[in-house]
Amino acid sequence: MDITAITNLYQATPVKDSNNTVSIPTNQSEDFSEIFDSVMGMVNETNTLANKASAEEVKFALGESDNTHDLMIAEQKAAVALQYTVAVRDKFIQSYQTIMNMQI
């Protein structure tokens, strides 16, 4: 799960000109696309880990595997990835709601 694109947001700050208006640097659209790609990669990785966990469950249920350690590791990886994805989603929604509630 790569979150390096998110840290780039803190480095780009809006600039006020002489009229006290805020101008956003042009690289903001690139930053958003990088963040979006990072989030989509995280979602894809979460799906992959969930599918691997399901495959391990099926193998264990069919008796093809008797290794409970691999099953538990796959389950934990999927659970942690899902929790992280949900936390990022919740923060995104909270940020969106904060922006929408701002009075201009």
User: pLDDT digits over 15-32, tens only?
Assistant: 555 555 555 555 555 677
User: pTM higher than 0.95 for the full model?
Assistant: no
* Length of the chain measured in residues: 104
**C-alpha 9, offset from chain centre:** 15
Q: Two tokens at 57? A: 């469950």
Compute the distance between CA of residue 92 and CA of residue 2 in angstroms, rounded to an integer: 16
CA angle 45, 46, 47 (to 5 degrees): 90
Dump pLDDT digits (tens) for 37-68: 888 999 999 999 999 999 999 999 999 988 89
List all residues 6 or more positions away from 78 whose beta carbon is below 8 Å from its beta carbon. 46, 49, 50, 52, 53
Q: Is 15 in a helix, a strand, or coil?
A: strand
CA 79 to chain centre: 14
pLDDT at residue 38, as a whole number: 87
